[in-house]
Amino acid sequence: MSARLIIVGPPGAGKGTQAGRIAAAYGVPAISTGDIFRKNVADGTPLGKQAKAIMDAGDYVPDSLTNELVKSRLAEPDAAEGFLLDGYPRTLGQVDFLDALLADQGAAIDAVIQLVADQDELVRRLLKRAQEQGRTDDNEQTIRRRQEVYIEQTAPLVSAYDARGIVLAVDGLGDPDTVGDRIAAALAGRGLTAGV
């Protein structure tokens, strides 16, 4: 069975942890745009060289280049039957590009897993992690700003997918197993079951 999924969630909601678990359970690759950029830069691909020049200049990688990198990654054999995207799409233009790319293959996004959590609780969680890891740059002000940026950037995307009825809002607070069980139940409710 194939599953084409997207995961979104605010900083501190455990998105990275859950992405790995979902990918393993559904037998699909977890694809992070950050990982794609790093791999292409490390491999010295033409797209990687372009991205590196832009990032080295301190600029954001434009949608056109991000789209091409994602398109290239989704063309790899392990993504043929499905994937879990983390960090993409980030703009409505990227949503449109992904829709068109999948439509060419007779496919579409099956579900968008939205991890939701109380903002104050996430701030407490991130401050604790920063203290444990000695990350002095993670203070309450910067953490709250990151939360605001997340909301500003993802609200339009979530709305676009919500209009299609494919957003699964899942409580992201709790231990990883509990949250994972909630995600599995939400996906099963859409007819997507683990154990490919």
Distance CA 19, CA 154 (A): 17
Q: Of 39, 49, 71, 129, which one is the catalytic site residue?
A: 129
Examine the residue annotation and report whether 164 is marked as an active-site residue of this protein: no
Q: Of 38, 90, 124, 144, which one is the catalytic site residue?
A: 90
Distance CA 49, CA 173 (A): 39
Examine the residue annotation and report whether 146 is marked as an active-site residue of this protein: yes
Containing H/E element for 112?
A: strand 111-116
With a CB cutoff of 8 Å and minimum separation 6, the contacts of 146 are 11
Rg (CA), the chain: 17
Q: Of 4, 15, 52, 73, which one is the catalytic site residue?
A: 15
Distance CA 46, CA 41 (A): 9
Q: Of 38, 124, 144, 146, which one is the catalytic site residue?
A: 146
Distance CA 155, CA 125 (A): 22
Examine the residue annotation and report whether 71 is marked as an active-site residue of this protein: no
Q: Of 135, 145, 164, 190, which one is the catalytic site residue?
A: 135
Question: Residues 98-115, buried b or exposed e (16+ Cβ, 10 A)?
Answer: beeeeeeeeeebbbbbbb
Q: Residues with catalytic annotation?
A: 15, 90, 129, 135, 146
